[in-house]
Amino acid sequence: MIKIGIIGVGTVGEAVVKNLKKNKEIIKARAGKEIKVVKGVVRDLNKKRDINIPLTTDYKEVTQDPEIDIVVELMGGVESAYKVVKDALIHKKAVVTANKALLAYHRFELQKLASTPFGYEASVAGGIPIIKALRDGLSANDIIEIKGIINGTCNYILSEMKKGRDYQEVLKEAQKLGYAEANPTFDVGGYDAAHKLLILASIAYNIDAKPEDILIEGIENINLMDIEFAKEFGYEIKLLGIAKKIDNKIELRVHPTLIKKEEMIAKVDGVMNAVSVIGDTVGETMYYGPGAGGDATASAVISDIIEIARGIKAPMLGFKLPLNKNYKLKEIDEIESKYYLRIATKDKVGVLNKITNVLAKHNISIETFLQKPKDNFAKLLFSTHKCKEKEIKKAIKEIEAFDFVLKPINYIRIEE
């Protein structure tokens, strides 16, 4: 029998206990052993709960209990969870966690510390087994690129906006439906997706980077004019987490992205998640499913528990030996992309000429251009050929300085 202690018994913790019970027989046959939750750690012992397991408020009763084999960390947070997980590892417990923030900051330190199995399938894209796909299923591949819809809140909002609905209106609805938090910044600002992207990138490239090191932009400035442009030119707008290897540099970035509507990942709508991975050997594969929710997350947590019960110790971040590639994170300024720009200007003579002059000065060439009259001002929509982040930023700043430009200029990167 395998004995489990769960630290943090909220929605996911309860779902883990319930599903272990519901599928007890099938899980025992797959794992080879019975799995039993013997203790839960909570803040409030008096809170009414749907499940019936022994509870305590002291995490050490789990991390240091000699009877417990696996510590399941579902408490959330970064430093407090780090302390608890370290204590579990020091006491030779196997660890399973759903905590993406913990891993975004401390995955390499934890890997160093972990002599026992360490599962974190639930930390990225909820119920989609993308960690195992990258770590095991695609292990033959030099990964060329990962593109992920790894925040359901953003994908829901952008999908609804396609119907002509306003950002603020949809955000409010998403909050009502429980898809978005009262303070939505962590989701709509791209930070949640960034945490997950960092985890995926370390399995692909063995690269250590922190959220502060990478390009993160949210969907707050997308409006219906952008949606209209996307439709007109055959694109979808998605918040993507992108990891890409170019020579010996790794690009890591999270931002709204225009992608061709024929791409498989462009077809993923609503709160669903999907991760597309391009490997040099296999080509493109994509993984689709629910990225959040108690049961979906519990599915991933339990799959890690079963793996450990089977006696399997996979290399935590996918590498058993150091990778002598010495990949470096690409500086944000050096990232190259195509851009879509939306510029609102006063309806005056010479406006277009002045704007295109600035773009030309920065070596930014225009691929498509669309001008539409709009109430009292002109709406200029450009798409550019590839240019560097630092060039486009300079050009935007210079264009915004013109007195005929109604600031701010909006832009969306284009991936093709």
Give the shortest CB-315-to-a copy of itself separation in angstroms. 7
H or E stretch including 35? strand 35-41
CA-to-CA distance for 251 and 335, rounded, in angstroms? 7
Among 290, 341, 381, 413, binds a copy of itself (CB under 8 A): 290
Please state, in angstroms and rounded to a whole number, the distance separating the CA atoms of residues 93 and 96.
10
Q: Does residue 312 bind a copy of itself (CB under 8 A)?
A: yes
One-character DSSP codes across 309-350: HTT----TTS-SS--TT--EEPPGGG-EEEEEEEEEEES-TT
Residue in 39, 132, 147, 196 annotated catalytic: 196
Kindly tell me which of 327 and 377 has the beta carbon lying closer to a copy of itself.
327
Q: Considering beta carbons, is residue 206 or 410 the nearer one to a copy of itself?
A: 206
Residue 295 binds a copy of itself (CB under 8 A): yes
How far from the centroid of its chain's Cα atoms is residue 302's Cα?
21
Q: Does 320 bind a copy of itself (CB under 8 A)?
A: yes
Between residues 31 and 157, which has the closer beta carbon with respect to a copy of itself?
A: 31
> Residue 261 interacts with a copy of itself (CB under 8 A)?
no
282 binds a copy of itself, rule: CB under 8 A:
yes
**Which range, of 20-28, 56-64, 90-98, 177-185, touches a copy of itself by CB under 8 A?**
20-28
Provide the β-strand partners of residue 70: 4, 94
Q: How far is the CB of 226 from a copy of itself (least distance, A)?
A: 23
* Binding segment (CB under 8 A) for a copy of itself, from list 17-25, 47-55, 90-98, 355-363: 17-25
376 counts as binding a copy of itself under rule CB under 8 A: no
Q: Which of 46, 52, 183, 324 binds a copy of itself (CB under 8 A)?
A: 324
User: What's the token pair of residue 262?
Assistant: 């024929």
Which of 153, 299, 345, 384 touches a copy of itself (CB under 8 A)? Answer: 299
Within 8 A by CB and 6+ apart from 31, the residues are 2, 305, 306, 309, 310
Contact partners, residue 345, CB within 8 Å, separation at least 6: 351, 355, 377, 378, 380, 402, 404, 405, 406
Q: Is 211 in the site for a copy of itself (CB under 8 A)?
A: no
First to last CA, the chain: 51
Query: What is the C-alpha to C-alpha distance for residues 34 and 25, in angstroms, rounded to an integer?
Result: 8
**In this structure, which amino acid lies at residue 91?**
H
Between 30 and 354, whose beta carbon lies closer to a copy of itself?
A: 30
Q: Where do we find the tokens 């060439």?
A: 365
Q: Is 39 a catalytic residue?
A: no
How many residues are listed for the chain in this entry?
Answer: 416
Cβ atoms 407, 221 nearer than 8 A:
no
Q: Which is nearer to a copy of itself, 176 or 320 (CB)?
A: 320
Out of 177, 246, 323, 401, the only residue in the binding site for a copy of itself (CB under 8 A) is: 323
Hunting for tokens 């450009």 — which residue is that? 382
Interface with a copy of itself (CB under 8 A), residue total 68
Nearer to a copy of itself, 325 or 361 (CB): 325
Collapse the DSSP code of 227 into the 3-class scheme (helix H, G, I; strand E, B; otherwise coil) and give the result: helix
**Residue 19 region, left (φ>0) first, then alpha (ψ -120 to 50), else beta?**
alpha
Q: What is the DSSP letter of 135?
A: I
Which parts of 111-150 interact with a copy of itself (CB under 8 A)? 121, 127-129, 132-133, 136-142
Q: Is 371 in the site for a copy of itself (CB under 8 A)?
A: no
Burial (CB < 10 A; 0-12, 13-18, 19+), residue 255, is buried
Selected range binding a copy of itself among 19-27, 55-63, 252-260, 328-336, rule: CB under 8 A: 19-27
- Between 218 and 290, name the residue whose CB sits nearer to a copy of itself: 290
Residue from 51, 144, 225, 314 that binds a copy of itself (CB under 8 A)? 314
Catalytic residues: 196
Q: Report the interface residues with a copy of itself, using CB under 8 A.
A: 15, 19, 22-23, 25-33, 121, 127-129, 132-133, 136-142, 206, 264, 267-268, 272, 279-290, 293, 295-296, 298-303, 305-307, 310, 312-315, 318-325
